[in-house]
Every structure is written in structure tokens, then in C-alpha cells.
Structure 1
Amino acid sequence: MDREKLDKISITDLLLRCVIGLNDWERTQKQDVLINITLYADLSRPCKSDRIKDSIDYKEIKKQVITIVESSSFYLVERLADSIAQICLTHPVVKAVTIRVDKPGALRYAKSVSVEIFRMRNDD
């Protein structure tokens, strides 16, 4: 699958709060995370039909992401990003996804630290 040939839907700068990190104080206090999601799919069918059932209900994906992130308590941003990717890949139209999770203030003197992952549907 060549992701460059697929269409994209992006959810940009979704700001949520969760328990994330290794330090003791990070295990008890929720912190901001900034999430960017790019969903890769063939959108030719919904472009013709103009029906949501043929497309990606990104509002529903956003709700699912909010639920998992706000209730999570992962140690690593990498694990959080992968959990978000797995939610996105459960949607039948989504062929692949790029997830970027920023953790503002994670490093002194840096605006943010981010992890970006790419995952593809495994239809084996």
C-alpha cells in the first residue's frame, strides 16, 4: 500500500489531559497532550455518494480517542500513540494512520517533545 496514493483526513491539535510519564509526580497529576491524527483511506466512494456511512466518521473516532486518552495512565508517549492508532484502525475504511502525540513541557528549555508513529491495517 502506497500511502501517498491514498486520501487523507486530519484531526489537528486535539488537546487532552492524561496521566503520562515515568516520574512520581507524573503518575498522580494529569498533563496536557496534543494529538494530531492523519487517517489514510480511499475516499472516492463517499465523494460520489455524499453519505457518511461510506466515509470515516471522524467525530466518532475523536470521541473514542478522548475516552481512551483521558482514562489512560501509560508511562510512555509511544504506548499512548499506538493505542490511538489501534482505535483508528478499527474503522473499516481506514487503511493506515499517522499519530503524533506532543507532550508540552516534557523537557526543560523545549516547547514540547513528540512521538510520531505510522501504522497500517493488517488484513492478513
Structure 2
Amino acid sequence: MTIHIEDLKFQCIIGILDFERQNPQDVVINLTLDYKYEKNFLNYADIVQKIKDVMIKSEFLLIEDALDYLNLKLIKEYSSIKSMNIKITKPSILPDCKVSVSNSYKSQS
């Protein structure tokens, strides 16, 4: 089975520039999770809330660190996840484009 969480938008502190550390900015997260369905489903509402909680609490310096941490957190919490693709976008950091970083992960189990 695959869960798609698309265009999850909220504000958090993320970035290395001085102004990024002072005020929350918009982020958009897109996530695709492949998981083994065995009569236990993954609650996408819980996953969305965990993502928001981690991002808001952690105040990451780099998007890359946020991606890796979200992967570890979700894999640890949900053992049925086989793989995932996460993309974090900062839509307002540059005036003429959106900036994103993404990565794909596979479970080691």
C-alpha cells in the first residue's frame, strides 16, 4: 500500500540565515510512504501531526537534517514502512522560485 501526503503546509523555524532563525516561515511537505498492509493500517492523520510536531519543535538548520530525522522518526514509529520519499519545500525563501530538497529512503528491516 502507498500513502500520499501532499502539500502539507505550516510554519516553522528552519534555515541557517539569521532572518530564518528569528521568524517561522512557510514550509510545504510532500511524503509518499510504501508500507506492508497486514490488517493494520497507518493512520495518516497521526503521521501528519508527527511531522508537524517534529518540524516545529526541532527548528532544524538544514532541510537535509530535517529529512533524515523525519525518516528515522517515522521508520522507528511504524515498523510496516518499507520505503518513503520526503520532499520539503521553502516556498518563500527566494522571490522568484520555490526551493526544495528531497530524498528517498528504504527500511533496513
- Given residue 48 of structure 2, which amino acid in structure 1 is its aligned partner? K
* 2:80 counterpart SS class: coil
* 2:23 counterpart SS class: coil
**How large is the Cα RMSD of the aligned pairs?**
1.3
Q: CA deviation at 1:102?
A: 0.5
* 1:102 counterpart SS class: strand
Q: 1:55 aligns with which of 31, 41, 54?
A: 41
User: Residues of 1 paired with 2:5 and 2:65: CA distance?
Assistant: 19
Native 8 Å contact 2:13 2:60 kept in 1: yes
User: Residues of 1 paired with 2:92 and 2:45: CA distance?
Assistant: 28
Matched, 1:25 2:19: yes
TM-score by length of 1: 0.80
- For residue 107 of structure 1, what is the aligned residue in structure 2? 94
- Given residue 54 of structure 2, which amino acid in structure 1 is its aligned partner? I
Indicate the percent of aligned positions where both proteins have the same amino acid.
Answer: 30
- For residue 8 of structure 1, what is the aligned residue in structure 2? 2
Matched pairs, number: 108
- Residues 2-61 of structure 1 show CA distances to partners (whole Å, capped at 9, x for unaligned) of xxxxx3111111112111111111111101100011101133x33xxxxxxx12122221
| Bigger proportion of residues as strand | 2
- For residue 103 of structure 2, what is the aligned residue in structure 1? 117
- Given residue 104 of structure 2, which amino acid in structure 1 is its aligned partner? F
**Structure 2 unaligned regions, length at least 5:** none
Structure 1 segments, 4+ long, off by >3 Å, are none
- For residue 67 of structure 2, what is the aligned residue in structure 1? 81
- Residues 104-123 of structure 1 show CA distances to partners (whole Å, capped at 9, x for unaligned) of 1222311x101111111122
Matched, 1:38 2:38: no
